[in-house]
Chains A and B, each alone.
Chain A
Amino acid sequence: MATMQFDLVSPERKLASLEASEVQIPGSEGDFTAMADHSPVLTTLRPGVLTVKAGSDVSEYIVTGGFVEVSPTATSVLAEQAVPKAEASADFVNGLIADAEAAAKNVSGPDLDVANKRISDTRALLDLI
């Protein structure tokens, strides 16, 4: 099966760099799966779970905002925060929810919709871990 280069980086460190066969990405416009020879896409992330499959190895990460760059040969995810799902605790997610709620306090208009979506996306993470 064809593979592509996959990179997951956060501002503080590089979390993963490997040959992956498919990557499931929580895009802000909806989830999608990138495989080799995908057409070039640049999209933003919403808080969610990122799944990387390399052959039979599957790894999952909790990501918050950021963006994804997909090209036929490589997928790079630049996440503001990213942690392996196994290491994420409910406390961690609750912290993210608190951050999202704090961010929603001082905004209005269309920004408020964005902030509210972030809160509900983050809340949904609680069911996933």
Chain B
Amino acid sequence: MASLKDLKMRIESVKGTRKITKAMQMVAAAKLRRAQEAAEAARPFADRMNVVMGNLAGASAGSESAPKLLAGTGKDDVHLLIVATSERGLCGGFNSSIAKKARVDAEKLLAAGKTVKILTVGKKGREQMRREFAKHMIDHVDMSEVKRLGYSNAQDIANDVMARFNAGEFDVATIYYSEFKSVIAQIPTALQLIPAKFEADEQAEAPFYDYEPGKEEILADLLPRALTTSVFAALLENAASEQGARMSAMDNATRNAGEMIDKLTIQYNRSRQAAITNELIEIISGAEAL
């Protein structure tokens, strides 16, 4: 059995851990609120963009001249998986669940004889994907310097992806991220970026707009922006999910540390009691022997 001193030290160390996890939880809660506000603020733009793109894309879907970003290359041989994760750990299953979803899909694609290319955003996802798909990794976007997620971050990623697409490096691009439902539920999601898919709103009758310049020009101008908006929305969702996952993970850790302290304290008191009893017995039996 561990000595009293050892037990005391362990209790102190667990108490220190509990303080850290408690602090991390509170920091995550504050950051989560900010991330949620940012995601909320970005929503009107994304919604509006989707509606307009839905109308435009619906109109030109069948035509021969539809832009490649919308119509695709006509093949689906080479797939680009963009795996967006966080830069830091200690956030529960957040990173692993995204990586797992991407891994399952990548294996499926490989089994079907397709070529898979992987672009990672965030350090944690890269580490996990590298284990199995090291030779499929083509690039990595480092977000560790990014303090506050901005539209320009999404722009950099989207421009890179579009440049690769125009160079014919892949046919289909899908982004993997985690959708924020609530603090306890983040759903790993795959969203196809190229060829772009927009859900045309069937109910809302599209008003008869005058298009200036023509419909096709507007579509060509807006497609890259719509793609950037999708990437931006995914990154924002991811940021909120990360903080949510970290908050609940740290909440659990704090609770576990509390339980451990209780257990260790009981053990400590018991052994202290035993030691005292032992000493008393020794003194009494010593006195009796005289």
Contact = CB atoms under 8 A, between A and B. Distances in A.
Contacts of B163: 106
A5 interface: no
Contact of A13 (B41, B209, B218, B232): B41
B42 A12 contact: yes
A80 to B, nearest CB: 6
B212 A29 contact: yes
Contact of B218 (A67, A76, A81): A67
A43 B211 contact: yes
A13 B151 CA distance: 10
Could you say which of A12, A27, A69 has the most chain B C-beta atoms within 10 Å of its C-beta?
A: A12
B41 A14 contact: yes
Size bracket, chain B contacts = 20 to 34
A50 interface: no
A42 B212 contact: yes
A67 B50 CA distance: 13
A44 B223 CA distance: 12
Contact of A40 (B151, B154, B210): B210
Contact of B208 (A10, A13, A40, A67): A40
Nearest to A106: B163
Interface in B144-159: 150-151, 154
Given A67-B52, A80-B151, A43 B232 contact: no
B221 interface: yes
Interface string B12-40: 00000000000000000000000000100
A15 to B, nearest CB: 10
A127 B32 CA distance: 42
A9 interface: yes
Nearest to A28: B213
Contacts of A76: 48
Nearest to B208: A40
Nearest to B46: A11
A10 B218 contact: no
B207 A12 contact: no
Interface in B187-224: 207-213, 217-218, 221-222
B49 interface: yes
B225 A66 contact: yes
A37 B38 CA distance: 34
A49 to B, nearest CB: 19
B229 interface: yes
A88 B41 CA distance: 21
B212 A43 contact: yes
B159 to A, nearest CB: 9
A40 B207 contact: yes
A71 interface: yes
A27 B212 CA distance: 8
A12 B212 contact: no
B216 to A, nearest CB: 12
A27 B211 CA distance: 11
Given A10-B45, A41-B210, A69 B225 contact: no
Given A10-B151, A67-B218, A40 B209 contact: yes
Could you say which of A11, A14, A40, A44 has the most chain B C-beta atoms within 10 Å of its C-beta?
A: A11
Given A10-B151, A12-B42, A12-B151, A78 B211 contact: no
30 contacts: A10-B45, A11-B45, A12-B38, A12-B150, A13-B41, A13-B42, A14-B44, A14-B45, A28-B221, A29-B212, A40-B207, A40-B208, A40-B209, A42-B209, A42-B210, A43-B211, A43-B213, A43-B218, A44-B217, A44-B222, A65-B225, A66-B225, A67-B221, A67-B222, A69-B52, A78-B45, A78-B48, A78-B49, A78-B52, A106-B163
Given A29-B213, A43-B218, 7 more contacts: A11-B232, A12-B42, A29-B212, A39-B210, A42-B52, A42-B210, A69-B48
